[in-house]
A and B are shown apart, each in its own frame.
Chain A
Amino acid sequence: MNDTLLDVRDVVVEYPLKGFRKEPFKALKGVSLDIRPGETVGLVGESGSGKTTLGRAVLGLAPVTGGSIKYRGQEISQATRAQRRELSHEIQVVFQDPYTSLNPSMTIEQILVEPLTVRKVERQAANRRVAELLDQVRLPQDAAQRLPREFSGGQRQRVAIARALALDPKLIVCDEPVSALDLSTQARVMDLFIEIQERTGVAYLFVSHDLAVVRHLSHRVAVMYHGEIVEWGDGDQVTGSPEHPYTQRLFMAAPIPDPDRQARHRADRLRLLDLQHQQDLQAGVA
């Protein structure tokens, strides 16, 4: 049980900036976390915090310039194309935007078959697999011959999930997969994520800016701020009684959908900001 699926240690990601001898932009400044089989690790933070970059680094889509990413003990941060191809049935991805993550000119069947062809699955077996996948994500069988534009956002996201599941991976990096969806669609897609996890034992690295989504899905939660993880631990602990001042601010900022409780919450937030301000001042004096 305690074996680690993914082990991220002190990872640094730097993007070179245009201009002669300019310091590169550090998107990640030494980030560490680990994921166990069948576990959901929530990665929460605001725009520019580096949470998406961490997901992309795991997928080999971001330049890792320091630290290590180990998948089942094997170093993958500098994996070659061929090694990546081997990894494609271990690590998969579901992106945020269901409108640009599916090629508009390919049918759903072509989209789902694509990862299978890389693994040289026979045509007939591939067709069977497509039918199975559509079933898993609750899409009707006649969806196979349609184009992505004929589907709603929630349905497209189901297709993207089916594509990720095609090779039966052990880890799926989910980059804000429900952020673009309507509230009730979002709830249903999240239920699907949980159901698939309970059935197949896949692990998720679940990136989101939405605290409620992360709390609902995650066993453990990491909070990112300015390219660093500022808090990391069990979901109930991090989302229930956060310790880091930034996490506290973050959680107090999210409004509660109840007028009276939100009024109290708002007052609490102002008190917290005031308190943190005082502490900062004292720290500055001392």
Chain B
Amino acid sequence: MIDTPTALPTPAAKVPLFRRLLAHPTGAASLLVLFLVALASVLAPLLASHDPNTADLQSVLAKAGSEHLLGADSAGRDVFSRLLFAGQFSLAGALVALAVAVLLGVTGGLVAGYYGGWFDSVSSWLTGLLMALPGMVVLLAARAVLGPSMWLSMMIFGILLSPAFFRLVYASVTAVHNELYVDAARVSGLSDVRIIGRHILTVVRAPVIIQSAMVLGIAIAIQAGLEFLGLGDMNIPTWGSMLNEGFINLYKSPTLVLWPALVIGAVCVALTLLANAMRDELERSRGPAKRRKRASSAAADEAEATAKRGDAAVIHPEETTGSAGGILLEVIGLGVGYDQADGSTSHVVNHVNLRVRRGEVHGLVGESGSGKTQTAFSILRLLPQGGRVTGGSIIFDDEDLAQLSEKEMTKVRGKRIAYIPQEPMSNLDAAFTIGSQLMEPMRVCLGISKAEARERALALLAKVGIPNPERTFNAYPHEISGGMAQRVLIAGAVSCQPDLLIADEPTTALDVTVQAEVLNLLRELQDELQMGVILVTHNFGVVADLCDSVTVMQTGRVVETGPVRAIFNNAGHPYTRQLLDAILEDTAPRGALKNSPLNTGTPNTLSGVTL
């Protein structure tokens, strides 16, 4: 049994963001700075030795000392006390800007992204307008009209900042809006408010938190800038107005400018670093960590499975028919592993032997996680980041590919070993025409002129059954269908007349009627060019259609190998038999619906739950 749903991995530990930030070095440091600044501002009435606005002519520009901890300014006001009280106003002002920006941006983005329609058009247009406005100029104009109120200017600045949130939320919502789980919630009859709260807000929460820290930093800096220009409210102490004051008296008392500058700098740096730390932590929870875990658990499963089974691969004798030639590729004891963060290696392919003769189509069959694609990619040396061949040899035409340098491998790839991918569309570059993508490899591999390459490319397109080669040659990938794209890729793969073709699920993404045509094409080309082909697939129909011999893989190992008829008619390994038993093609149709007593209206009740 493969899918016995009993063995589940241990649940991933859910550590709250705050705790994770404390473990993050820069995150913890910036949190500490912000916490101290906020605490000092809140406790200003207790900590301050003087009233921040009381002018004392006795201590004009006083030096730092016991009376004035950090000295006094040109009006004799205590700098330390002003710094503490200014914190209250500066932080509160920035928070006002943030609150306005979040309120407008997030709600606008949610509504526009979720419902679309006219609100979407209007708000997107407004966002564009707001982003085009120069912030400083608007704030200056607002001050001229509305007077020097810090609160008002921060609110206006919040409006100016709202596009940052709008665009972020809008993008997240439109991305998640068509997810199937949102559809499922709709079918369940959930109201829009509930769907937004449950499924959509959770998605936008993380980016909004990160963005908030950034925006708060910007608001503090802009506010300080406004006050520094002397455009602020002179009645309340802020870091910006202190900066202004210090700048005026720069020659008389240079330290006056230092303290507010230090605080503003520290807070802005801390907010930016905090945003980065949050990004690290919030985005690390998904992605690579998960993949690593799966790989290692697969390896563990596999070790366990082989220990339990202890059985070896079933090897059927080769058929000695005339069609197949000498050995083209011999893979012996191949191992593929992925380097882990902790220095260990997780093995996904173990001791794989594979022999492909000239002119033979060799099927590599298995379910997901069997290592069939890993094996094929290691022959091409195109393993994903972190993957490498950990052992064994890949003898291709008397040369061990595992020993070649990257440069030597480049000469083999494409020219002597070609590749057909599973997803035709994602393997064509949308920015170039089909023709240029076909010509380029030929010019490199075969060293022919542009005119000659063009001629050959057109001939190839005709050969793979494309009705109007000239038109397809000049087309961009988005202008052709998936089946056509696969034909183009096949044309590209055989363009340099390779000895070995590796096809990774070449028809899985295609409709059955297109699949039949592509299979026919592959058969014809293989007949004509006498290539060896490794066909990676999970579909036994495709195997039966095309393959001469088959290797069955399970959890990174070969379990059975032999001529195609031996595998279908005389499978020796229990796993192969299990796979063959799962085939539905030969099962009987279900037949018409019989009169069943169940159909006579069961009451709509669940056990103990009346709906």
Contact = CB atoms under 8 A, between A and B. Distances in A.
Interface in A22-38: 36-38
Contact of B519 (A126, A255, A257): A255
A100 B511 contact: no
Contact of A239 (B368, B482, B589): B589
Contacts of B188: 88, 92, 114-115, 118, 163, 167
B512 A236 contact: no
Given A101-B180, A253-B516, A142 B8 contact: yes
Contact of B587 (A149, A215, A258): A215
Contacts of A95: 180, 183-184
B512 A250 contact: yes
Interface stretch (B38-46, B47-55, B472-480, B594-602): B594-602
B592 interface: yes
A201 B589 contact: no
B568 to A, nearest CB: 6
Contact of A114 (B190, B591, B599): B190
Given A46-B513, A257-B543, A89 B604 contact: yes
Nearest to A190: B584
A146 B516 contact: no
Given A140-B5, A183-B582, A100 B181 contact: yes
A254 interface: yes
B8 A37 contact: no
B17 to A, nearest CB: 13
A146 to B, nearest CB: 5
Contact of B11 (A147, A220, A256): A147
B199 interface: yes
B545 interface: yes
Interface stretch (A6-14, A63-71, A150-158, A276-284): A150-158
A40 interface: yes
B193 to A, nearest CB: 11
Interface in A100-147: 100-103, 105-106, 114-116, 118-119, 121, 125-126, 128-129, 132, 138-140, 142-143, 145-147
Contacts of A234: 591-592
Nearest to B182: A103
Contact of A187 (B544, B582, B604, B609): B582
A209 interface: yes
A93 B185 CA distance: 10
Nearest to A86: B189
A19 interface: no
B508 to A, nearest CB: 10
B297 to A, nearest CB: 10
B349 to A, nearest CB: 18
A269 interface: yes
Interface residues of B, number: 77
B598 A182 contact: no
A235 B589 contact: yes
A216 B538 CA distance: 19
Interface SS, A side: helix
B579 interface: yes
B434 interface: no
B7 to A, nearest CB: 9
A59 B191 CA distance: 15
Interface in B457-493: 482
A278 B547 CA distance: 31
Interface in B339-358: none
B587 A118 contact: no
A236 B584 contact: no
A277 B405 CA distance: 53
B512 A253 contact: yes
B8 A140 contact: yes
Interface in B544-568: 544-545, 547, 564-565, 568
A124 to B, nearest CB: 9
A8 B12 CA distance: 46
Contacts of A118: 188-190
B202 interface: yes
B136 interface: no
A209 B544 contact: no
Contacts of A266: 520, 545
A129 B11 CA distance: 22
18 contacts: A38-B598, A85-B191, A92-B188, A93-B183, A93-B184, A101-B181, A114-B190, A121-B609, A140-B8, A143-B8, A150-B8, A182-B367, A182-B538, A184-B3, A201-B598, A216-B590, A249-B513, A259-B568
Interface of A: 1, 36-40, 46-47, 59-61, 81, 84-89, 91-93, 95-97, 100-103, 105-106, 114-116, 118-119, 121, 125-126, 128-129, 132, 138-140, 142-143, 145-147, 149-155, 158, 160, 163, 167-168, 182-188, 190, 198-201, 209, 211-213, 215-220, 234-236, 239-240, 249-250, 252-262, 266, 269
Closest 8 CB pairs of A and B: A255-B541, A85-B189, A201-B598, A88-B189, A257-B540, A101-B180, A212-B584, A182-B367
